[in-house]
Amino acid sequence: MGNLYAESGLDPQNLQNSYEKKLGHTNASYTQAVDAGTYDNFINDKAGYGLAQWTYWSRKQNLHNFAKDAGKSIGDLQMQLDFLAKELAEGYKGVLEALRTATSVREASDCVLTKFERPADQSEKVQIKRAEYGQTYFGKYATKGMEDNDMGYTNSTLVDCKVMSPNHSGKRTHRIDRITPHCVVGQLKAANIGGCFDEASRKASCNYGIGSDGRVCLVVDEANRSWCSSSSANDQRAITIECASDKTAPYAMTDIVYNKLVELCVDICRRNGKDTLLWFANKDKSLNYEPKDNEMVITVHRWFANKSCPGDWLYARLGNLATTVTAKLSGTKTTDSEKTKTADVTTEAVSGTLEVIYTGTDGVEVHNTPDFNASSCNKTHGPVGPATKKGSKFTVAALVTLAGGSKMYKLKSGLYITASEKYVKFTKTETKTESNVPFKVRVDITDLNIRTGAGTNYAKTGEKTGKGVFTITEVKEGKGSDAGWGRLKSGAGWISLDYATRI
């Protein structure tokens, strides 16, 4: 359906836009003329028509004959659906088999795009957009009429990395109609949040983690019940999201994290056929409320255990979260009173080089302002010109996070380019860590892993620090830690300083 929506807007009488002026017809007049026989060039006019924008002469002839045999208008919806099924079954058996066996919307969408529709533009951008359309319809219709033990689920396309946890109860026993956001108590990157739950001994997990880097980590598939809220009943029906936060009350989150939470909630609701996110700010009302088919309800961990989670900072903003997400789902804008400081564009100074890795012939757009809808300078429309092709390199001055959580790099030239790793590769300028060793740190968690080197790419020694005070003799930057890695004076190995407080 995503591809059909892209082709025709799901209008069975849709005449290819570029041919309306050329042929002197609207959708309705073209359909009427073909039905009446007053227009006799339907088969050979090369104009796309109908749900699938049939264009090639032999396919249009088959469609025309099928309509005549059925005694239906050329623009009849059911007739076109029947013809589409016949065409797939007889002429595109490989596509039909792929649709039956595909394990993701993207896989099915790409097959229809490249082997059935075959438009001129089959670039990665087009593939992503059509899959997004398909994901929307999948969420809206895929679970309708299913029994509770036979539900269809997908994971978010916003996922940047996966650290899968063994800690879950398998397939859900209840449809998804709740979202439960949590504070992770630490400004951790997305992959590090996943790393908190990658051992069975932890006996806890979540569906997603949103890191301080604004990235999303998949920890437990949406199809499965995570162990996150101290409530089996809640976790059976909720998507649970751990969000990077400060270590101390009120457990504040950055703009980057909050905006990504908004974006992720919109995606979760849309894929599950919901257009309204509700926050009642009342435990009894929330837990006793039975959501309508189009509704999702926010619940919180503190209702099920003696915890402050998700922290007073986020708890105070859950009304805004519900309002903002619902507005985005309906396509309306939030009022000024509904906007918060977290909707501002934020800029982080970074230093490094960027290389375009996108191989598409259309290049990567560069913009005059930090706005993907701003004037484009790609191709021949500005000073950057063909330099936006694969292999082009730029000097980066800053990382900009937009209101919706999307990211752009500010170039030394003053222009802006996407920060998506699908299109560009960023290499940070290495700086030496200032540590003034030795120094002491306090660890307040019992299960901080000790590693053989400075980074999550080094093996765990199998030992943990436990709570206590430790002396650090050396500090290095390394994968998986914002604050760096510290070598223990005991010689046991290295620990992530994200989990330690300097004293």
Assigned token pair, 176: 């998804």
Burial 382-395 (b: 16+ CB within 10 A, else e): bebeebbbeebebe
If you ran DSSP here, which 8-state letter would residue 261 be given? H
Distance set, CA 179 to CA 157, 238, 278, 482 (Å): 17, 5, 10, 28
Q: Which fold has domain 161-338?
A: Lysozyme-like (3.40.80)
The mean pLDDT of 474-487, rounded to a whole number, is 83
**Contact between residue 1 and residue 137 where contact means Cβ atoms under 8 Å apart:** yes
210, pLDDT greater than 90: yes
Give me the half-sphere count of Cα atoms (radius 13 Å) on the Cβ side of residue 229: 24
pLDDT at residue number 332: 53
Residues in the chain, total:
503
Q: What are the counts of helices (DSSP H) followed by strands (DSSP E) for the chain?
A: 14, 22
Crossing angle of helices 255-271 and 124-141, in 10° steps, is 60
Name the residue with higher pLDDT: 115 or 369: 115
Quote the pLDDT of residue 181: 98
- Among candidates 171, 272, 150, which has minimal Cα distance to 224? 171
Report the 10 Å Cβ neighbour count for 7.
23
Q: What is the pLDDT of residues 391-413, one digit of tens each?
A: 888 888 888 877 556 788 888 77
State how beta strands 366-367 and 416-418 pair: antiparallel
pLDDT for residue 226 is more than 90:
yes
Q: Quick one: pLDDT at residue 404?
A: 56
For the stretch 411-458, pLDDT in tens is: 877 777 888 887 889 988 654 444 578 889 988 887 788 999 988 888
Domain ranges of the chain: 2-140, 161-338, 345-428, 439-502
Under 8 Å between Cβ of 156 and 214: no
Instruction: Give pTM, 2 decimals.
Output: 0.45
Quickly state the pLDDT bin for 498 (edges 50, 70, 90): confident
For strand 295-298 and strand 238-243, is the pairing parallel, antiparallel, or unpaired?
unpaired
Nearest 5°: the CA angle 142, 144, 145 is 125
State the pLDDT confidence band at 382, using cuts at 50, 70 and 90: very low
Question: What number of other Cβ atoms are within 10 A of residue 135's Cβ?
Answer: 22
As a whole number, mean pLDDT of residues 56-74 equals 93
The phi-psi region of residue 410 (left if phi > 0; otherwise alpha if psi is between -120 and 50; otherwise beta) is: beta
Q: Which of 429, 290, 276, 442 is nearest to 350 (CA)?
A: 429
- Label the pairing between strands 295-298 and 485-488: unpaired
Q: In the predicted model, is pLDDT for residue 5 greater than 50?
A: yes
Residues 6 or more apart from 49 whose CB is under 8 A from it? 14, 15, 16, 30, 42, 55, 60, 63, 74
Q: How many CB atoms lie within 10 A of CB 431?
A: 8
Residue 499 binned pLDDT confidence (cut-offs 50, 70, 90): confident
pLDDT at 273: 87
pLDDT per residue as tens digits for the range 227-282: 999 999 999 999 999 999 999 888 999 989 999 999 999 999 998 889 999 999 88
Query: Model confidence at 203, in pLDDT bands (50, 70, 90)?
Result: very high
What's the CATH code, domain 439-502?
2.30.30
Is 193 a residue whose pLDDT tops 90? yes
Give the integer Cα–Cα distance in Å for 298 and 173: 19
Highest mean pLDDT among 117-121, 314-318, 498-502: 314-318
Residue carrying the six token digits 């076109």: 80
C-alpha radius of gyration, the chain, whole number: 27
- Let me know: does 494 contact 453? Beta carbons within 8 Å: yes
Confidence band of 375 (pLDDT split at 50, 70, 90): very low
How confident is the model over 120-139, as pLDDT tens digits?
Answer: 888 888 888 888 888 777 76
Predicted confidence at residue 374, as pLDDT, reads 47
- CATH 2.30.30 for domain 345-428, yes or no, is yes
Q: Is 493's pLDDT higher than 60?
A: yes
Q: Which range is least confidently modeled, 236-240, 324-328, 410-414, 469-473?
A: 410-414
Residues 96, 103 contacting (CB under 8 angstroms): no
The contacts of residue 433 (CB under 8 Å, 6+ apart) are 475, 476, 477, 484
Range from 195-209, 393-407, 476-490 carrying the lowest mean pLDDT: 393-407
**What pLDDT score was predicted for residue 139?**
65
Burial 254-282 (b: 16+ CB within 10 A, else e): bbbbbbbbbbbbbbbbbbbbbbbbbbbee
Q: What's the distance, CA 403 to chain centroid?
A: 15
Q: DSSP of 269-338, one letter per residue?
A: HHHTT--EEE--S-HHHHHH----TTEEEE--GGGTSS--TTHHHHHTTHHHHHHHHHHHHHTPPPPGGG
Q: What is the pLDDT of the chain when averaged over all its residues?
A: 84
* Identical fold between 161-338 and 345-428: no
Residue 349: DSSP 8-state: E
Please state, for a pLDDT cut of 70, what percent of the chain lies above it.
Answer: 87
Q: How does residue 286 score in pLDDT terms, banded at 50, 70 and 90?
A: very high
Picking from 185, 172, 112, 111, the residue whose alpha carbon sits closest to that of residue 143 is: 172
- pLDDT, residue 41, reads 94
Tokens representing 293 are 């088919």
